[in-house]
Amino acid sequence: MRIEAYTECRKLDVREDNQVESVFEIIAEPNRRAILSLLISSQQSVGEIEQQLRMSQPTVSKHLRVLRDAGFVESTVDAQRRLYRLKPEPLQELDDWIAPFRRFWSAHVDSLERHLDRMSDPIDQSAPQKRKTIKPRGHNRKQTKGETK
């Protein structure tokens, strides 16, 4: 595993109250992840984020400030509103850090897929397959007097 990739990720540590908050803590917060997901497709104003996520303006602004300070988003002024957009560099650093784990997961998923494929293949194709017969409804019911089928 590359230790320097972790070190690079740690350079992004910030917090508005001057305490250290790691990149992982920043993106672990569900509202921040939701904001990042919105910004994938296009830049958004605070008001647009408020409406789509049904959060208050102060909450959206607080999370955007943390994301901006950490380098995940940047803002530009357009007339009377501030537009936020995603900055891919910090996410690329996270992706670089996660890459060795992805290879680990991929190898295990591939192994599971091969195992499931082997399980789904019949062991002996020449052996007769048992078939369950489905009886019509009421087949076992006794006929009462005067009742006809």
In a domain, 82, yes or no: yes
Could you tell me the residue range of the domain that residue 11 belongs to? 7-90
85 backbone dihedrals φ, ψ, rounded to 5°: -140, 155
pTM of the full predicted structure?
A: 0.58
Distance CA 141, CA 119 (A): 39
Whether residue 83 lies inside any domain: the answer is yes
**Would you call 25 exposed, middle or buried from its count of C-beta atoms within 10 A (0-12, 13-18, 19+)?**
middle
Is residue 117 domain-resident? no
CA-based nearest residue to 43, from 16, 76, 12, 20? 76
How do residues 68-103 score in pLDDT, each as one tens digit? Answer: 999 999 999 988 889 999 998 888 888 888 888 888
Q: Is residue 96 a part of any domain in this protein?
A: no
Residue 130, domain member (yes or no):
no
Q: Alpha carbon of 116 to those of 42, 81, 105: distances in Å?
A: 40, 54, 16
Domain count, the chain: 1
* Model confidence pLDDT, tens digit, residues 30-70: 999 999 999 999 999 999 999 999 999 999 999 999 999 99
Read off the CATH number of the domain in which 56 is found: 1.10.10.10
